[in-house]
Structure 1
């Protein structure tokens, strides 16, 4: 008789077992060591397996990944609801009007204890200790926290009423006792008068403005307050924190990769003593260190890099008073949501809705869920940057003006490659001396390029051109070749003009958009340029040219982002590098390197960049249509046959 087969485990049994496994067990079953898993869960606030695994993959090259460096924790009392919104608005307005002061290093809070260290394996005990302390005194929690305004020449803040302060101190004291009992963690509660700082260490000239702004706050009415437990990487303590604005790809082993929306922390001395604009710092996202260009970052609050572990209500609502307040979004989520749902939304100190930053290192940002009618895949935007076509003054020399215009200003074509006609413009023929039109071959070059784009199915929705006539004419001919709809207009902007060091005769007296339109060029006469002629600096340095070009390109891409579609920039030889260099994460070239690059760019030369959707990153790619090569064709003099 055959032996009976063992009972096969049902699939729902396996699912149940997986559900009951802790995040620690699941990650260890995936092959991660216990120490690394505990560190990842602590760093991400134990908000789910996905976020912790993202952190582990991001920190695979972190030299301190296997070192036992416990995180630093702190307990704050934080205002929420209306007063929280008012205080955040005050932070923004004081920063905009008076610049950064020391209060901007954190968010609005009342400090209840000094920073303390807790081993990664004991974080769950720490959270349990806080929960136990709050539960113990829940019936004694205040219905409102009263605040008293105070200012002095170097400090502006709000002091808490004695009853509320005593309650907070008692909860913190019991938290310290429970944490020591459960995990041996030592916490030192604050015994000094509790307060919420609005501004300090500010310039004396800003005092009156800060006082005026702070006295506009309405903190007399009911407000909701919360206990919040935060942690930070110990490397951030006493460090300057910078937010990454632009991506940067390392070009040498000692450089640090910059990832958009990452944070970099470094010593204050490094921030103050750099002589060349490059700093040495550590990435918050990866833990890796190296040097990086400082102009790709901006100073930000240290607390932007903190992890939120626990939120518990501090105040209780008034029963039957009609003033009941629903829990803050972050508290409601933490009370009702699952670990996985919490991990996908909340990780900022203020409890604002954010995407998990760790996911950005190895994968693109996940798109929002849309209905089936919106699920058609969108092509990534492309940015085409093009040099203008062949110009008359380079082909025929400046003497073309003398030969083609008579004393009355009448134009006569002297060569088949000269324009059939030239625009009537203010200043007469002399205006062409600094602002040349393109040749007939130039028109053909531009149309041919547009036709190549059309043949590859490329459409262009947004067109921007330098104010130079040769660039606008090139853009117009390209649109003819593409067969673009009449609604696609050319937006003329001085921000695309070439490096002014190459205009020794001064800034040209360009034609106005209205005059260009009157000559038949499809120019948008309603467009307001990002850069006007009056904003150009005739003594512009190469670095300033790169910055101008980069800022202009960023503004263009932001302006066109909502409508989508490909963007075409028509400028000069230097435009190809000036508008793409920093957009792809590279630093600007010095004048010698820049000049060598520019000399290699032909008429109608094109570079193409493609947007990596959801990342804010643009990559140089192979231009999807053939390039144009036009060999030298010297002027023919029939008289040579007479000899």
Structure 2
């Protein structure tokens, strides 16, 4: 069932169905490590067996060594539902998604899968996993995550993945880049990837599922804007919530422009952990 939210083109008098091309870039959903801190220590026993300790922990996770999750966190169930809600909004007939590209990070893959499930496109649209869409490498100077291969991702998440896709940048190339990548290098990397995506798809609307920084890094040079300095970049990334999206339109003059988002974001309240003994300790016994 499609969303009842009204989609907007971001331009008065122009319906989104008439847009020649659109590039939608969305951040992943709520991730386990940011929601629960050192969840690996509490959820894995000495034999590496996983068991959830909260209703917002996944009931099951992909069978990997615990250390594989250190830099490649899964989503929480709420994070998965955030993706599903975004997909429901995206299912509005006023917008059509023709191509899907995703960062190799597990949280992005799971978000992408749930977006496509929510929009009813999970069986008809295959996802292209593009390592070049991974976030700023300066945040991973010690070690890069160990990502799932496309076959492992398809088996572990149930995603419809294009196993024939040839990425613009392979994971090994990122290993060679990650120590010295500046934030301006990161913008250039993302711009190159987006240009390759646009030229290789020729027509149709594109969905990119990636990271908080991706909303700007995948679009700023495309629309001809000046790159931010380091402080502005850091401040901007900190203001991008889960499932926020940017919305770029190819206008009639053949230039890409940033327009307002198609629909509202997914807002949730903070909900502290339920500490049963503490909650009742101040009451008469």
Q: Same fold (TM over 0.5)?
A: yes
Describe how 1:46-61 pairs up with structure 2 within 5 A. none
For residue 456 of structure 1, report the CA deviation from its aligned partner.
5.5
> Any conservation in 2 of the 1:434–1:505 contact (CA below 8 Å)?
no
Residues of 2 paired with 1:458 and 1:639: CA distance? Answer: 50
1:503 aligns with one of 140, 154, 169: 140
Q: Residues 532-575 of structure 1: CA distance to partner in whole angstroms, max 9, x if unpaired?
A: 112221120111001001111111011111xx221011111110
Structure with greater contact order relative to length (CA < 8 Å, sep ≥ 6): 2
The alignment partner of 2:42 has SS state of helix
- Structure 2 counterpart of 1:625: 263
Structure with bigger strand share is 1
Show CA shifts across 1:218-256 (max 9, x none): xxxxxxxxxxxxxxxxxxxxxxxxxxxxxxxxxxxxxxx
- State the Cα distance separating 1:420 from its structure 2 match: 1.6
Question: 2:183 is matched with which residue: 524, 542, 545?
Answer: 542
Asked if the contact 1:456–1:624 (Cα under 8 Å) also holds between the matched residues in 2, the reply is no
Contact 1:462 1:488 in 2 (8 A): yes
SS in 2 for 1:471: helix
1:173-188 alignment runs, 5 A limit: none
The question of 1:602 aligning with 2:208 is answered no
- SS state at 2:247 partner: strand
Question: Structure 2 residue aligned with 1:483, among 117, 120, 130?
Answer: 120
Deviations 1:180-213 (A, max 9, x none): xxxxxxxxxxxxxxxxxxxxxxxxxxxxxxxxxx
Alignment equivalent of 2:30, drawn from 371, 390, 411: 390
**Correspondence for 1:432:** 69
Cα deviations by residue, 1:62-115 (Å, 9 ceiling, x for unpaired): xxxxxxxxxxxxxxxxxxxxxxxxxxxxxxxxxxxxxxxxxxxxxxxxxxxxxx
SS, match of residue 264 in structure 2: coil
Name 1:532's counterpart in structure 2: 170
Residue by residue over 1:114-141, the C-alpha shift from the partner in whole angstroms, topping out at 9 and shown as x without a partner, is xxxxxxxxxxxxxxxxxxxxxxxxxxxx
RMSD over aligned Cα atoms: 1.5
- Is the counterpart of residue 404 in structure 1 residue 25 in structure 2? no
Distance 2:148 2:30 in 1: 19
* Partner residue in 1 for 2:8: none
- 2:20 pairs with one of 371, 376, 380: 380
Runs of 5+ unmatched residues, structure 1? 1-376
Deviation at 1:614, TM superposition (A): 5.3
Q: Match for 1:468 among 79, 89, 105?
A: 105
The structure-2 alpha-carbon separation of the partners of 1:483 and 1:590, relative to structure 1 and needing over 3 Å to count, comes to same
Is 1:452–1:626's contact at 8 Å kept on the other side of the alignment? no
Structure 2 equivalent of residue 639 of structure 1: 277
Aligned equivalents of 2:194, 2:32: Cα separation in 1? 28
Using the TM superposition, give the Cα deviation of residue 521 of structure 1 relative to its aligned residue in structure 2, in angstroms. 2.0
Give the aligned length. 261
C-alpha distance in structure 1 between counterparts of 2:36 and 2:142, whole Å: 19
Unaligned runs of 5+ in 2: 1-16
Give me the whole-angstrom Cα distance separating, in 1, the residues matched to 2:264 and 2:39.
Answer: 32
Deviating above 3 A after TM superposition, structure 1's stretches of 4 or more consecutive aligned residues are: none
* Cα separation, 2, equivalents of 1:414 and 1:573: 27
Give the TM-score taking structure 1 as reference length. 0.40
